[in-house]
Each structure stands twice: as C-alpha cells, then as structure tokens.
Amino acid sequence: MKNEMNRTALVTGASRGIGKAIAERLAKEGYNLALTCSKDADNLNKLAKCLEDEYNIKCIAFVVDGGDCEQVERLFENEFFKENGIDLLVNNAGISYVGLLHEMTPEEWHRVISVNLDSVFYTCRKAIPYMLSRHAGRIVNISSVWGNVGASMEVAYSTTKGGINTFTKALAKELAPSGIAVNAIACGLIDTSMNACFSEEDLAAVVEEIPADRIGKPEEVADMVLRIAEAPDYLTGQIVTIDGGWV
C-alpha cells in the first residue's frame, strides 16, 4: 500500500447507510475518495463536500448505475483515477427484493442480479489493472449472512450475496500472487433503510434471535472494512461475518 496520506478508495452505494459510514470512516483515515450512487446525487454531493472540508482530502462524487457496464467504464476513465489510481475498492451498492419467488417478475430478478452481482464484476474488472500496476491493493465486497445460509422471501438477494462470496474466494486466489487481497463482509441485520419494508414487530422478533440483542450499526461495518483494508495481504479470500452471533 502507498503512504497513508496518498491512499485512494472507491466506495459504491455511498449516499446513505453502510456506504456512507464507510466513506466517513475512510475519510477520517486520510483516504482520498471516489463515491458513487445510482440516484441520490444531492446527498452524495453534500457528503463529498463535507468530507473534503472536514478531513482535507480529495473527494469526488459520481452518479453511476453499477449494473450498467458502460457507465462503470466511463467512471474509471475519469482523471481522478488516472491521477490517483485506486488502492481500495469497496463494493457496497445493493438492493433487495422481499417477496415470494414465483411472484417475482423476470425484470425484478435481473435488476437485483445486475445491481448486486454484475456491478461487482464491472468494478473489479476496471480497478484491478490499477492495482496490478502497483502490485498492491485491497478489494472488500459487502455481502450478507443470507449469502451464507439463504433467506426465505429473499431468494434473489440471497443468490447475489452467495455469488459475491464465491466470487470473492475465487478472485482472491487469482490475485494473491500480485499482492492484492480480496475479502468480503457478511452483514447480519444492520440499521439501514433497507429494513424499511419490515414492521417494528418484525424487527423486534429478529432481534430476539440475535445473541447480541440488538441491530448492528453501519459504523461497525465501516470499522470492519477499515480493519480488513489495513490487514496484511496474507488475509485474503475470507468471508468475515458481522452479525452479533445471529447466524
């Protein structure tokens, strides 16, 4: 890795929730940042400006549909990456679908696959050459415990997260000789807007099953991302679970 003051990270899905917390944590550590989201440009631009001012870093915001290959390719053609390279890629962007599989449309299925899984391929594909040129880098993919065990009513989401886990393990083996570590974080129930579809009663019932007796915080995931990013490159191919002992 480069000197601490010169490190650069790309965080996808950074306008809110876990992605926003990751961006804030990395900025605090002196990372220059490229942040993306698919829709919420106002919040993302405000976040980028705030992080630049507070932590004296470079921070640039992009509205990108991570499931669109051409948009991701244009992202990596930006001068920001040509000037700064990329030391850390955090694939966080994701969406969910809650419902019975037989009631899901093909369009809904493909959208979940595209945003959650295709996007990881697209960003890794473009980030890896920057890392190879320096024989160093870190990739952290945000996954889910449902990628480990599957969830009823969330088949598509579970499928994408299971795919991310296997993608992580395979790519880690491919890139280990080049000094690039690839790991994933399998999150349990985290306090984000993705849970808005569940009632307070539903969430309370889940919390009763969690040994830690609470919902996780986005900041806890962000701390784990930083720890993995700062770990020796011998830590690679791992799916690190952060779920309060739930699954």
The string of pLDDT tens digits covering residues 138-176 is: 999 999 999 999 999 999 999 999 999 999 999 999 999
Q: Going by C-beta distance under 8 Å and a sequence separation of 6 or more, which residues neighbour residue 104?
A: 97, 155, 156
pLDDT band at 5 (very low <50, low <70, confident <90, very high): low
pLDDT band at 1 (very low <50, low <70, confident <90, very high): very low
Contact 143, 165 (CB under 8 A): yes
Nearest to 226 by CA among 87, 93, 63, 45: 87
Strand-pair partners of 60: 34
Q: For position 208, what pLDDT does the model report?
A: 95
Active site residues: 157
The whole-angstrom separation of Cα 217 and Cα 189 is 9
Computed over every residue of the chain, the mean pLDDT equals 95
Q: Going by C-beta distance under 8 Å and a sequence separation of 6 or more, which residues neighbour residue 50?
A: none
Six token digits for residue 50: 């705030």
pLDDT band at 239 (very low <50, low <70, confident <90, very high): very high
Q: For position 197, what pLDDT does the model report?
A: 81
